[in-house]
Chain A
Amino acid sequence: MNKLALKLQLMVALVTLCSVAAFAQNARIQMDHLDKLFPKAVETIDVTVDSNLLKLASKFLKADKADEAAAREIVAMLKGVYVKGVEFDKEGEFSEADIDAVRKQLATPGWDRIVGVRSKRSGDNVEVYLMHNNGIIDGIGVLIFEPKQLMVVNVVGQIDPEKVTQLRGQFGIPKDFDLDFSGVRKTRKNDN
């Protein structure tokens, strides 16, 4: 599960950096169908962090400190963070339909795929989607799967890229991280 944890950490970095509103509820991905996979899995993770808890978390960030203030504003705009993940001992325990059920939601208007990584060697697949409207990011969807693993991460809420860049060098976000969403459309075209 180390890989899973590592990926989770990467996702959280994304979450933190892309942390996020208006269309909020539309950006929520339904992933309850994955619950049926839990009994067979050797490792499962299920996280539901709602806006109340995020507000609570923001209390612990100071408004008068530049770095924490940016993080506080980002967290304050978030509506929820949801994660479901499973890992199996052997391959073939989940089907393409399980993945497609998530992909279908991410193929609806508003969502754009910005990253698609496929490794033939390891069988790793990572797909990152953004929901945006007039340049405002309203949600992030991340789909990670490999033969024995499946994980979906969903961040709901407005994400201001400008604020995220202020967090570079903190909270695990690389100093040279550049979150340029201006090319979302372009990336999407290239990607597809």
Chain B
Amino acid sequence: MSHRIRKAFLFALMIVFLLAPALTVHAKGKGFKDVVKHIETNYRAKKTRIPFLGLANFAVKVIRPAGVKGFKLAVFEDQGLASRPELAASFGSVMREAYNKDWMPLVQINSRRGGNNRVYIYAKYSGKDVEFALASFEEREAVVLQVKFNPDAAARFLENPKIMGISLGGPIRGNGGNIGTIATRTSRRSVNVRSGNRTTSGDRTIAEMDAPDTTEPKPRPVLKAGGSDENNPPILPPLPASTTSPAPAVTTDGKVVARTESPAGTTDPKTTVPGVDTIRIETRLVNLNVKAMDRAGQPITNLKLEDFVVYEDGIKQTVEHFKPVNAPVNVVLLIDLSGSTRKRRRAMAEAAKRFIDSLPLQDKISVVAFTRRYRALTGFTKDKIALKNAIEQINDIDGGTAFYDSLWKALDDLDRVPDARKAVVVLTDGEDESLIGDEETNHGFDDLLGRASEEDVTIYPIYFKAPEQYKHYNKLGSIFGGGSLMVSDNVRTAQKQLDQLAEATGGEVVNAQREEDLEGAYQRVAQELHMLYSLGYLPDKMKHDGGFRKINVKLTREDSVAKTRKGYFDR
């Protein structure tokens, strides 16, 4: 009996052990696993593979950065989650069942506008730790995240960011709602010293960045009164750096040559060109990219030099050089490869390639990708095959968003191009990391805008961000009074800054809210680039007082208007 009973007892015990977890699960939701399983089973969705996620989780458990003790993450991308609306509607019940015990619902947002978008946040307190579960469910993608952290450790981390004893810099006081404070801080840290071609900011210099070395002297353009090959103007030997914008000098034989100016306003003797007697004049060539339109906004592309009248501070100027709309353009094709763009790279690459194809053969393009680093994938070239091959590399690049610094370096690159027709076409959401207080920037926005206003480079931002992307998070940010979830102010700031950059340089912001809009946006910019005339004039009198010189271009034709940059600072 005893043997049989013992066997039966052991058997029963085994059954209990086997069933116990299942019974527990029935009584208590498994949370993350249940939600993921629901998505996988009911929508036949497959999780997006995230490289090294397991390793990252292990590392987090060991290192516990910012007090985080562990996380679970499942991402479903490009799935047909809208295929079963009746299930989507019951997603709230799934969440409630999955997070039914100990968990507290914090936020539930549903939106049937623009799809079926849902956000759920649950919290659980376990001793000194807190667990958050977030599920975001949209038409084509879903994200399920569960994270456990120690709030005290997280607060300590924010105050003194350290991982494994290694300091990550100053305190992170990320109050997203106080954008003004962040902007002020950023601006204070961005002490930029433009000393010639080398830019110094605090303890960092551009030279430390992975970018073309800007410490090399720049070649300066030579403008011959007697005329030169438009596409290949002669270049002077490289000249030392100057603290001011390059100004041309006129030679005794009537030629205008480049000159530089020392900080005190005296000319560095080394800057004179051997064998050429030069006369320095206090002037510089002001280049303008000008778009001419009729009253209906339609571009006018058949104008001649005599159709333009240029005024500086209300005084008529003599236009020294003119190029029609079909003259070659030098373009930096700048592509924002921050993490948020990863899943849209294919569409971005295809649209960029078609943009390259649509530009005339004589245009020179440089393809540049940027994250926190500026990566020139090509130099300026007309070789469209090489350019398109370079575009393929963008799939392998990922990182943050040093937008200001990258645009600054794009302007540096264009500075080295000895031609007047220059443009930057930048595909971005414009959100520099400094806006959210993550990173310092070598160049603040004000400095960038100031410089862009002075350069003869037209900037065309292609604003690429889905308006719905952060909608729910905006609400959360609002609810929490401007916590880290609040991104709406950053978005607004970024949009405004892009507008300012475009307006200051005579360009235009083109919106691309969906992947499908990208090609159209690029095509529009391609057309715009060849609606630009180039005009150059030598201002009558330079004061070098730092004052702003307002530029106004008028057309002699009736019912037509011209658009160009607003002016420049006379330094």
Contacts and interface: CB of A to CB of B under 8 A. Distances in A.
Interface of A: 1, 5, 8-9, 12-13, 15-16, 38-39, 41-50, 52-53, 56-57, 59-60, 62, 81, 83, 170-172
Contacts of A59: 151-152, 154-155
A8 B479 contact: yes
| Closest 8 A/B residue pairs (Cβ) | A9-B478, A46-B108, A16-B481, A59-B155, A42-B112, A44-B110, A8-B478, A43-B111
Contacts, number: 85
Given A8-B475, A48-B104, A53-B106, A60 B112 contact: no
B113 interface: yes
A1 B470 CA distance: 13
A50 B123 CA distance: 10
B563 interface: no
Contacts of A46: 105, 107-109
Contacts of B104: 48, 50
Interface in B144-203: 151-152, 154-155, 158-159, 173, 175, 177-178, 181
- Main secondary structure on A side of the interface with B: mixed
B110 A38 contact: yes
Contact of B113 (A1, A38, A60): A1
B113 A42 contact: yes
A84 to B, nearest CB: 10
B304 to A, nearest CB: 48
Given A12-B481, A48-B105, A172-B481, A5 B474 contact: yes
Given A42-B113, A43-B113, A56-B130, A12 B108 contact: no
B481 A15 contact: yes
Given A46-B107, A47-B106, A83 B479 contact: yes
Given A42-B112, A59-B152, A81-B479, 18 more contacts: A1-B111, A5-B471, A5-B488, A12-B479, A43-B110, A46-B107, A46-B108, A47-B108, A49-B480, A50-B104, A53-B123, A56-B130, A57-B483, A59-B154, A60-B154, A62-B173, A172-B178, A172-B481
A146 B130 CA distance: 38
Interface in B463-498: 471, 474-475, 478-483, 488
Contacts of A9: 478
B129 to A, nearest CB: 11
Given A16-B481, A171-B177, A62 B106 contact: no
24 contacts: A1-B111, A5-B471, A5-B474, A9-B478, A12-B478, A12-B479, A13-B481, A41-B110, A43-B111, A44-B108, A44-B111, A46-B107, A48-B107, A53-B106, A57-B480, A57-B483, A59-B154, A60-B154, A60-B155, A62-B159, A83-B479, A171-B177, A171-B178, A171-B482
Given A43-B113, A52-B125, A172 B177 contact: yes
B175 A171 contact: yes
A57 B483 CA distance: 9
Contacts of B177: 171-172
Contacts of B155: 59-60
Interface string B251-295: 000000000000000000000000000000000000000000000
A63 B175 CA distance: 15
A1 B479 CA distance: 14
A39 B104 CA distance: 21
A5 B104 CA distance: 23
Contacts of A172: 177-178, 481-482
Contacts of A5: 471, 474-475, 478, 488
Contacts of A170: 178, 181
Contact of B108 (A45, A60, A81): A45
B107 to A, nearest CB: 5
Contacts of B475: 5, 8, 45
A42 B89 CA distance: 12
A81 B483 CA distance: 15
Nearest to A169: B180
Contacts of B151: 56, 59-60
A16 B158 CA distance: 22
A48 B106 CA distance: 5
A12 B125 CA distance: 25
Q: Which of A5, A38, A39, A62 has the most CB of B within 10 A?
A: A5
Contacts of B123: 53
A145 B108 CA distance: 20
Contacts of A42: 111-113
Nearest to B119: A45
A1 B418 CA distance: 51
Contacts of B152: 59
A173 B178 CA distance: 10
Contacts of A43: 109-113
A49 B106 contact: yes
Interface string B508-534: 000000000000000000000000000
Contacts of A57: 480, 483
Interface in B435-473: 471
A57 B104 CA distance: 16
Contacts of A39: 89
A171 B481 contact: yes
Nearest to A49: B106
B109 A45 contact: yes
Interface in B58-112: 89, 104-112
Q: Which of B108, B152, B475 has the most CB of A within 10 A?
A: B475
A8 B481 CA distance: 10
A108 B173 CA distance: 42
B440 to A, nearest CB: 21
Nearest to A62: B159
